[in-house]
Copies of this chain bind each other. A is one copy, B any other.
Amino acid sequence: MIELVGFDGDDTLWHSEGYYQHAGAEFERIVGTYVDLDDAQTRARLLAAERRNLALLGYGAKSMTLTMVETAIELTDGAISARDIHRIVALGKAILEHPVELLPDVREAVEKVAAQYRVVLITKGDLHHQERKVARSGLDDLFHRIEIVSEKNGRNYGKVLAEFGIKADAFVMIGNSLRSDIEPVVSLGGWGVHVPYHVTWEHELEHGIEAGHPRVFVVHNASEIPGAVARCGGEAASI
């Protein structure tokens, strides 16, 4: 029996990655006016720098922006102008300011699930930015709790389950990232509903979960989420 359903936020309930990718493309364009690197090379250097900074800076738009500033200076060997660095900072602020646009059929899907189960929003990254997005999404009334964690790993999911006092096999997590939303939960003995998004940050593409895992269901539209949740936990119920 499923007792708790977790939802990811970014790219599961609302659009997000597209804003980061737009900022990344503009960053490549600015750096490209100084150095003889193609966009893929610049992107690879930025990704490597983001990963190096991850332990210190964590996830989110502010971290990405600081890493863009650092990387732009390093790649241009200090030749980049202060005006262009100011533009890079503005790219990061634009990510933080973007409107929260729900994916199709999300509100109805969360309402249906919330009518039958306790639901919790579990997102990672910048606390301030995530709280703003939750408030702007208009979905905060549907969630029993909003958990913002610095990393979506087994330890942090385990803490959430302990706070709710439930076992992993009574928990299903819904999200677009196999690495962050599905694999750690399934490894604990829980269930996953994978809702792929059309773009994924490269960092999230690395995971160790096989296709066709018996405790993971894949759906392609939010309207299919309630039905997939009903299949978790061996329940016969359908909604």
Q: Please give the residue numbers on chain A whose beta carbons come within 8 Å of chain B beta carbons, in ascending order.
A: 56-59, 62-63, 65-66, 69-70, 72-74, 76, 78-83, 85-86, 89, 92-93, 96-97, 126-129, 131, 148-150
Residues A128 and B58 in contact, CB atoms below 8 Å apart:
yes
Main SS of chain A's interface residues? Answer: helix
How many copies of the shown chain assemble into the complex? 2
- 5 new A-B contacts, CB < 8 A, other than A57-B128, A74-B86, A128-B150, are A58-B127, A58-B129, A66-B93, A69-B69, A127-B148
Residues B79 and A73 in contact, CB atoms below 8 Å apart:
no
Cα A80 to Cα B83 in complex, Å, equals 9
**A65 surroundings in chain B (CB, below 8 A):** 66
Closest Cβ of chain B: how far from A196's Cβ, in Å?
27
Closest Cβ of chain B: how far from A203's Cβ, in Å?
15
In order of increasing CB-CB distance, the 7 nearest A-B pairs are A58-B128, A127-B127, A62-B62, A78-B82, A73-B82, A128-B150, A73-B86
- Minimal Cβ-Cβ distance residue in B for A84: B82
Residues B70 and A89 in contact, CB atoms below 8 Å apart:
yes
Closest Cβ of chain B: how far from A69's Cβ, in Å?
6
Cα A42 to Cα B126 in complex, Å, equals 28
